Amino acid sequence: MPELPEVETVRRGLAEHIVGKKFKKIDVLHPRATSPKSIAALTSLTGARVKAVARRGKFLWFELDRPEVLVGHLGMSGQFVIQPKNAIDERHLRVRFTLGRHELRFIDQRTFGWLGVCEAKDGIPNWVEHIAADPFDPNFDLAKTISRFQSKRTEIKRALLDQGVMSGVGNIYADEALWRSKMHPETRTEKLATKRVAELITNATEVMSEALAVGGTSFDELYINVNGESGYFERSLAVYGQEGEGCPRCGRQIRRITFANRSSHFCPKCQPTPRSNGNR
Protein backbone atom coordinates (compact mmCIF):
# COMPACT_ATOMS: atom_id res chain seq x y z
CA MET A 1 0.00 0.00 0.00
CA PRO A 2 1.36 3.47 -0.82
CA GLU A 3 2.55 5.28 2.30
CA LEU A 4 3.22 8.95 2.99
CA PRO A 5 6.22 9.41 0.64
CA GLU A 6 4.38 7.80 -2.26
CA VAL A 7 1.15 9.72 -1.65
CA GLU A 8 3.05 13.00 -1.23
CA THR A 9 4.88 12.32 -4.50
CA VAL A 10 1.51 11.90 -6.20
CA ARG A 11 0.13 15.03 -4.52
CA ARG A 12 3.03 17.14 -5.76
CA GLY A 13 2.60 15.82 -9.28
CA LEU A 14 -1.13 16.49 -9.24
CA ALA A 15 -0.62 20.01 -7.88
CA GLU A 16 1.85 20.75 -10.67
CA HIS A 17 -0.44 19.53 -13.45
CA ILE A 18 -4.06 20.23 -12.49
CA VAL A 19 -4.29 23.23 -10.15
CA GLY A 20 -6.30 25.84 -12.03
CA LYS A 21 -7.78 23.23 -14.37
CA LYS A 22 -11.52 22.53 -14.66
CA PHE A 23 -13.22 19.12 -14.62
CA LYS A 24 -14.90 19.54 -18.01
CA LYS A 25 -16.25 16.00 -18.05
CA ILE A 26 -16.21 13.14 -15.53
CA ASP A 27 -16.71 9.50 -16.52
CA VAL A 28 -17.10 6.89 -13.76
CA LEU A 29 -16.24 3.51 -15.27
CA HIS A 30 -16.49 1.25 -12.20
CA PRO A 31 -19.00 1.52 -9.32
CA ARG A 32 -16.46 0.59 -6.64
CA ALA A 33 -14.36 3.62 -7.54
CA THR A 34 -16.87 5.81 -5.67
CA SER A 35 -16.83 5.68 -1.87
CA PRO A 36 -20.15 4.57 -0.38
CA LYS A 37 -19.83 7.58 1.97
CA SER A 38 -19.80 10.04 -0.94
CA ILE A 39 -22.46 12.69 -0.43
CA ALA A 40 -22.95 13.07 -4.19
CA ALA A 41 -22.04 11.38 -7.45
CA LEU A 42 -18.56 12.15 -8.73
CA THR A 43 -20.15 13.52 -11.89
CA SER A 44 -21.73 16.28 -9.77
CA LEU A 45 -18.28 17.92 -9.75
CA THR A 46 -18.40 18.52 -13.50
CA GLY A 47 -17.43 22.14 -14.09
CA ALA A 48 -15.51 22.47 -10.81
CA ARG A 49 -12.08 24.09 -10.91
CA VAL A 50 -9.20 22.72 -8.82
CA LYS A 51 -7.76 25.30 -6.43
CA ALA A 52 -5.26 23.08 -4.58
CA VAL A 53 -4.32 19.48 -3.86
CA ALA A 54 -3.85 18.64 -0.16
CA ARG A 55 -2.85 15.59 1.88
CA ARG A 56 -2.97 14.23 5.39
CA GLY A 57 -1.31 10.90 6.01
CA LYS A 58 -2.37 8.66 3.11
CA PHE A 59 -5.45 10.71 2.16
CA LEU A 60 -5.50 13.14 -0.77
CA TRP A 61 -8.11 15.75 -1.49
CA PHE A 62 -8.79 18.33 -4.18
CA GLU A 63 -9.89 21.78 -2.99
CA LEU A 64 -12.41 23.16 -5.49
CA ASP A 65 -14.13 26.43 -6.28
CA ARG A 66 -17.17 25.17 -4.38
CA PRO A 67 -17.80 24.07 -0.77
CA GLU A 68 -17.31 20.34 -1.39
CA VAL A 69 -13.95 18.63 -1.80
CA LEU A 70 -12.99 15.56 -3.80
CA VAL A 71 -11.26 13.07 -1.48
CA GLY A 72 -9.17 10.16 -2.71
CA HIS A 73 -7.42 7.15 -1.18
CA LEU A 74 -5.10 4.99 -3.26
CA GLY A 75 -5.82 1.81 -1.31
CA MET A 76 -3.52 -1.04 -2.34
CA SER A 77 -2.98 -0.20 -6.00
CA GLY A 78 -4.67 3.08 -6.87
CA GLN A 79 -2.90 5.43 -9.28
CA PHE A 80 -3.49 8.94 -10.60
CA VAL A 81 -1.92 9.57 -13.99
CA ILE A 82 -2.03 12.46 -16.41
CA GLN A 83 -2.55 11.35 -20.02
CA PRO A 84 -3.16 13.04 -23.37
CA LYS A 85 -6.84 12.99 -24.23
CA ASN A 86 -6.30 10.57 -27.12
CA ALA A 87 -4.20 8.05 -25.14
CA ILE A 88 -5.45 4.46 -25.07
CA ASP A 89 -7.47 3.60 -21.95
CA GLU A 90 -5.58 1.64 -19.31
CA ARG A 91 -6.94 -1.82 -18.50
CA HIS A 92 -7.95 -0.88 -14.96
CA LEU A 93 -9.13 2.67 -15.63
CA ARG A 94 -11.89 3.49 -13.11
CA VAL A 95 -12.55 7.25 -13.38
CA ARG A 96 -11.67 9.76 -16.09
CA PHE A 97 -11.57 13.53 -15.53
CA THR A 98 -11.35 15.43 -18.80
CA LEU A 99 -9.33 18.62 -18.29
CA GLY A 100 -9.03 19.75 -21.90
CA ARG A 101 -6.23 18.37 -24.01
CA HIS A 102 -5.27 16.11 -21.10
CA GLU A 103 -7.09 13.79 -18.73
CA LEU A 104 -6.64 12.93 -15.08
CA ARG A 105 -7.17 9.19 -14.78
CA PHE A 106 -7.77 7.12 -11.66
CA ILE A 107 -6.57 3.56 -12.23
CA ASP A 108 -6.95 0.78 -9.68
CA GLN A 109 -6.21 -2.87 -10.38
CA ARG A 110 -7.46 -4.22 -7.04
CA THR A 111 -10.31 -1.70 -6.58
CA PHE A 112 -9.51 -1.00 -2.91
CA GLY A 113 -8.89 2.68 -3.66
CA TRP A 114 -11.75 5.16 -3.94
CA LEU A 115 -12.86 8.72 -4.63
CA GLY A 116 -15.72 10.58 -3.00
CA VAL A 117 -17.40 13.94 -2.61
CA CYS A 118 -17.17 15.20 0.96
CA GLU A 119 -17.93 18.27 3.06
CA ALA A 120 -15.03 20.08 4.68
CA LYS A 121 -14.51 22.25 7.74
CA ASP A 122 -11.62 24.71 7.91
CA GLY A 123 -10.17 23.03 4.82
CA ILE A 124 -10.16 19.51 6.33
CA PRO A 125 -12.58 16.92 4.88
CA ASN A 126 -14.94 15.36 7.42
CA TRP A 127 -13.59 11.91 6.57
CA VAL A 128 -10.06 12.95 7.51
CA GLU A 129 -10.77 14.61 10.88
CA HIS A 130 -9.97 11.41 12.80
CA ILE A 131 -6.57 11.09 11.12
CA ALA A 132 -3.68 12.44 13.19
CA ALA A 133 -1.26 14.91 11.67
CA ASP A 134 1.87 13.42 10.13
CA PRO A 135 5.40 14.73 10.83
CA PHE A 136 5.35 16.87 7.66
CA ASP A 137 2.13 18.64 8.64
CA PRO A 138 2.54 22.23 9.92
CA ASN A 139 0.07 21.33 12.69
CA PHE A 140 2.13 18.34 13.89
CA ASP A 141 2.61 18.49 17.67
CA LEU A 142 5.55 16.35 18.79
CA ALA A 143 4.73 16.40 22.51
CA LYS A 144 1.10 15.36 21.95
CA THR A 145 2.16 12.65 19.52
CA ILE A 146 4.64 11.20 22.01
CA SER A 147 1.90 11.20 24.64
CA ARG A 148 -0.46 9.33 22.30
CA PHE A 149 2.20 6.67 21.70
CA GLN A 150 2.85 6.18 25.39
CA SER A 151 -0.85 5.99 26.26
CA LYS A 152 -1.66 3.23 23.74
CA ARG A 153 -0.54 0.28 25.90
CA THR A 154 0.31 -1.87 22.91
CA GLU A 155 3.28 -2.96 20.81
CA ILE A 156 5.21 -0.15 19.12
CA LYS A 157 4.81 -1.59 15.61
CA ARG A 158 1.04 -1.64 16.05
CA ALA A 159 1.06 1.94 17.35
CA LEU A 160 3.18 3.11 14.40
CA LEU A 161 0.56 1.75 12.01
CA ASP A 162 -2.28 3.45 13.92
CA GLN A 163 -3.21 6.50 11.82
CA GLY A 164 -4.96 8.03 14.83
CA VAL A 165 -1.64 8.23 16.67
CA MET A 166 0.55 9.53 13.85
CA SER A 167 -0.44 9.26 10.22
CA GLY A 168 1.47 8.36 7.09
CA VAL A 169 3.54 5.42 8.33
CA GLY A 170 2.79 1.97 6.91
CA ASN A 171 4.55 -1.36 7.06
CA ILE A 172 7.61 -0.42 5.02
CA TYR A 173 8.61 2.74 6.86
CA ALA A 174 7.61 1.34 10.25
CA ASP A 175 10.14 -1.49 9.84
CA GLU A 176 12.80 0.91 8.61
CA ALA A 177 12.23 3.42 11.43
CA LEU A 178 12.32 0.68 14.08
CA TRP A 179 15.59 -0.65 12.64
CA ARG A 180 17.16 2.81 12.73
CA SER A 181 15.98 3.17 16.33
CA LYS A 182 17.30 -0.30 17.32
CA MET A 183 13.83 -1.11 18.61
CA HIS A 184 12.06 -4.48 18.36
CA PRO A 185 8.55 -4.29 16.82
CA GLU A 186 7.02 -5.95 19.90
CA THR A 187 8.38 -3.36 22.34
CA ARG A 188 5.59 -2.07 24.58
CA THR A 189 4.67 1.58 24.07
CA GLU A 190 3.81 2.31 27.71
CA LYS A 191 7.33 1.27 28.79
CA LEU A 192 9.14 3.51 26.34
CA ALA A 193 10.90 6.60 27.66
CA THR A 194 9.90 9.90 26.09
CA LYS A 195 13.38 10.27 24.57
CA ARG A 196 13.06 6.90 22.81
CA VAL A 197 9.66 7.74 21.32
CA ALA A 198 11.00 11.08 20.09
CA GLU A 199 13.98 9.29 18.53
CA LEU A 200 11.64 6.87 16.75
CA ILE A 201 9.52 9.72 15.37
CA THR A 202 12.68 11.47 14.17
CA ASN A 203 13.88 8.32 12.43
CA ALA A 204 10.48 7.74 10.82
CA THR A 205 10.53 11.32 9.54
CA GLU A 206 14.06 10.96 8.19
CA VAL A 207 13.43 7.68 6.38
CA MET A 208 10.26 9.05 4.80
CA SER A 209 12.10 12.24 3.78
CA GLU A 210 14.79 10.15 2.08
CA ALA A 211 12.15 8.08 0.31
CA LEU A 212 10.29 11.19 -0.80
CA ALA A 213 13.49 12.58 -2.31
CA VAL A 214 13.63 9.63 -4.74
CA GLY A 215 9.90 9.36 -5.45
CA GLY A 216 8.97 6.77 -2.83
CA THR A 217 9.27 2.98 -2.78
CA SER A 218 8.06 0.78 -5.61
CA PHE A 219 8.40 -2.99 -5.88
CA ASP A 220 6.24 -3.34 -9.00
CA GLU A 221 4.00 -1.41 -11.36
CA LEU A 222 1.32 -0.93 -8.69
CA TYR A 223 2.89 2.31 -7.49
CA ILE A 224 3.72 5.05 -10.00
CA ASN A 225 3.56 8.83 -9.92
CA VAL A 226 1.38 10.95 -12.19
CA ASN A 227 3.96 10.67 -14.98
CA GLY A 228 3.96 6.87 -14.80
CA GLU A 229 7.36 6.66 -13.09
CA SER A 230 8.26 4.33 -10.21
CA GLY A 231 10.00 5.31 -6.99
CA TYR A 232 13.52 4.10 -6.24
CA PHE A 233 13.78 3.90 -2.44
CA GLU A 234 13.54 0.08 -2.43
CA ARG A 235 17.25 0.14 -3.31
CA SER A 236 17.98 1.72 0.08
CA LEU A 237 15.81 -0.46 2.33
CA ALA A 238 17.72 -1.87 5.28
CA VAL A 239 15.29 -4.51 6.58
CA TYR A 240 11.88 -4.43 4.88
CA GLY A 241 11.70 -7.30 2.39
CA GLN A 242 15.31 -8.28 3.22
CA GLU A 243 14.66 -11.56 5.06
CA GLY A 244 17.79 -13.70 4.99
CA GLU A 245 20.04 -10.82 3.95
CA GLY A 246 22.73 -9.38 6.18
CA CYS A 247 21.93 -6.39 8.40
CA PRO A 248 23.65 -3.30 6.94
CA ARG A 249 24.78 -2.35 10.45
CA CYS A 250 26.00 -5.60 12.03
CA GLY A 251 25.77 -8.29 9.36
CA ARG A 252 23.37 -10.53 11.28
CA GLN A 253 20.72 -12.19 9.10
CA ILE A 254 17.46 -10.22 8.87
CA ARG A 255 14.44 -12.08 10.26
CA ARG A 256 10.74 -11.84 9.47
CA ILE A 257 7.90 -12.45 11.91
CA THR A 258 4.14 -12.21 11.48
CA PHE A 259 2.88 -9.46 13.70
CA ALA A 260 -0.35 -7.41 13.72
CA ASN A 261 -1.49 -9.38 10.66
CA ARG A 262 1.54 -8.16 8.75
CA SER A 263 5.12 -9.21 8.18
CA SER A 264 7.69 -7.42 10.30
CA HIS A 265 11.36 -7.44 9.37
CA PHE A 266 14.10 -6.76 11.92
CA CYS A 267 17.66 -7.54 12.94
CA PRO A 268 17.73 -9.88 15.97
CA LYS A 269 21.05 -8.40 17.16
CA CYS A 270 20.38 -4.69 16.66
CA GLN A 271 16.74 -5.01 17.71
CA PRO A 272 16.72 -7.51 20.60
CA THR A 273 13.46 -8.82 21.94
CA PRO A 274 11.74 -6.76 24.69
CA ARG A 275 12.64 -9.38 27.30
CA SER A 276 16.35 -8.85 26.72
CA ASN A 277 16.36 -5.07 26.33
CA GLY A 278 13.83 -4.07 29.00
CA ASN A 279 11.51 -2.51 26.39
CA ARG A 280 13.67 0.60 26.25
Catalytic site residues?
A: 2-3, 58, 262
Residue pair 203/181 in contact (Cβ under 8 Å)? The answer is yes
Q: Is the dihedral of CA 224, 230, 233, 235 positive or negative?
A: positive
Give, to the nearest 10 degrees, the angle between helix 171-180 and helix 194-213: 120
Burial class (CB in 10 A: 0-12, 13-18, 19+), 84: exposed
Helix (H) or strand (E) holding 204: helix 194-213
Instruction: Phi first, then psi: give them for residue 165, nearest 5 degrees.
Output: -95, -55
| Interatomic CA distance for residues 223 and 229, integer angstroms | 8
Residue pair 279/192 in contact (Cβ under 8 Å)? The answer is yes
3-state SS, residue 35:
coil
Residue 77 burial (CB count, 10 A): 19
Q: CA dist 69 to 117, 123, 163, 278, Å?
A: 6, 9, 21, 47
| Interatomic CA distance for residues 186 and 78, integer angstroms | 31
Reference 248, options 231, 233, 234, 267; nearest CA is 267
Residue pair 33/94 in contact (Cβ under 8 Å)? The answer is yes
